[in-house]
Amino acid sequence: MISDTDFMRRALDLARNAQALSEVPVGALVVLGDRVIGEGFNQPITLKDPTAHAEILALRAAATTLGDYRLGGTTLYVTLEPCPMCAAALVHARVARLVFGAWDPRQGAAGSAFNLVTARAMNHQVDCFGGVLADECGAILRQFFESRR
């Protein structure tokens, strides 16, 4: 069986794809069972699309794979705690589980700044677990932003 750590390592590989494009290095994948059904990495600059976050692109790919926007029973792995837009998309897609790497105390919407994924006001709650490979996920982000200063 593939572990959360194994899937997070794949998300880190995807984050490096974003970094190669000078995008904020965030990678995400959607898994059903042990099968990756969607992947994405940040591309809002490349695609000229403010919604082209890693999570959104991975959700779109997974929905295409399944032929349904509802992604019940899936797990989304992402290297950075989702922002409010992405967290709401996870809820609306009925993703069962969220696993993320680094916490985002300024914009995170899975327990840091906000908590949309488990909010009772939402029509679905996502089981959430943060901190998987947090040091590695945080390091790639820190290095990216330090290189731009």
The catalytic residue among 23, 39, 55, 81 is 55
Between CA 74 and CA 93 the distance in angstroms is 10
100-119: b or e for each residue (b if 16 or more CB lie within 10 Å)? Answer: bbbbbeeebbbbeebebbbb
| Backbone φ and ψ of 23, nearest 5° | -95, 160
Query: Is 39 annotated in the active site?
Result: no
Between CA 87 and CA 108 the distance in angstroms is 9
Q: Give the residue numbers marked as catalytic.
A: 55
